[in-house]
A and B are shown apart, each in its own frame.
Chain A
């Protein structure tokens, strides 16, 4: 599977690349409007609920986020990250599912995957979208 690798707070995450529509920076993209109070971004008239990964990694980021817009099966979300790094092709056999009993809150990640010698958390698309 192809993964978009992103950094958010202290973490490095993989996002299923087939669900990624666009990566947008509100500072330079005039078509992206961020409505923090409503918990959504609006891009060309379409609303995307915000899921800010940076708030879930235990280290608040000071810089404004970049948004990864996701869509799958008619559902969508805007994931706030510090930066998008690269796209990597990962063997399905390299994906190690996380045990459910470690979670105290609704899970946002589903597996650990080794990418170029580094362990990366794989986002749970079913939970985020």
Chain B
């Protein structure tokens, strides 16, 4: 049986699709800084940005092909916001637009009645997102941060083992 937990969600749009992340993953949302493209980086890395003395890797999920059933034709290069996430000891930035905070009340932590796994009308591949109806409102797709970040090659001790078992150590698929 799934365990309910109270959470708030940060809703935003990537490549025209509305998604959400648990607020606990999000460190801050800032105006998109200057992003410097890095030669030799993964295609879904938009570049790096200087943020508080750190080189913050900036990701364009619209260019992360493994996330999508049908990858978008363009990325989110013109996104206005940067959603800074703390993942383990690592900070990363996700490009997004139309960022908004929604109160989610309680949602099932695992699969349950309120959760639909990816279906035919869901643009993401199975396992990358789940749909919930927070507080009886319109449904929103929550990105599964652990699966997503592991697939993108972002290190985290809790998910590294699972990622290696899934053969996801190299996000380039080599």
Select the stretch in A18-26, A67-75, A105-113 that faces chain B.
Answer: A105-113
- Cβ contacts under 8 Å, B153 to chain A: 101-102
Q: Are A102 and B53 in contact (CB under 8 A)?
A: no
Dominant secondary structure at the A interface: mixed
CB-contacts of A65-103 with B (<8 A): 93-94, 96-99, 101-103
Q: Are B50 and A57 in contact (CB under 8 A)?
A: no
A56 to B152, CA, bound (A): 21
CB-contacts of B26-41 with A (<8 A): 34, 36-41
Q: Are A97 and B40 in contact (CB under 8 A)?
A: no
Interface size on B, residues (CB 8 A): 23
Does any Cβ of A come within 8 Å of B120's Cβ? no
Task: For the complex formed, measure the closest distance between the CB of A122 and the CB atoms of chain B, giving whole angstroms.
Answer: 10
- Cβ contacts under 8 Å, B48 to chain A: 98, 102, 112, 119
Q: Are A96 and B39 in contact (CB under 8 A)?
A: no
Does any Cβ of A come within 8 Å of B42's Cβ? yes
Q: Are A53 and B39 in contact (CB under 8 A)?
A: yes
- Cβ contacts under 8 Å, B49 to chain A: 119
- Cβ contacts under 8 Å, B101 to chain A: none
A56 to B55, CA, bound (A): 20
Interface size, A (range): 20 to 34
User: CB-CB contacts of B131-165 with A at 8 A, as 1s and 0s?
Assistant: 00000000000000000000001110000000000
- Cβ contacts under 8 Å, B53 to chain A: 93-94, 96
CB-contacts of A20-57 with B (<8 A): 53, 56-57
A114 to B36, CA, bound (A): 11
A111 to B49, CA, bound (A): 11
Query: Which residues from chain A sit less than 8 Å from chain B, CB to CB?
Result: 10-11, 53, 56-58, 93-94, 96-99, 101-109, 111-112, 114, 119-121
Closest 3 CB pairs of A and B: A56-B39, A105-B40, A96-B55
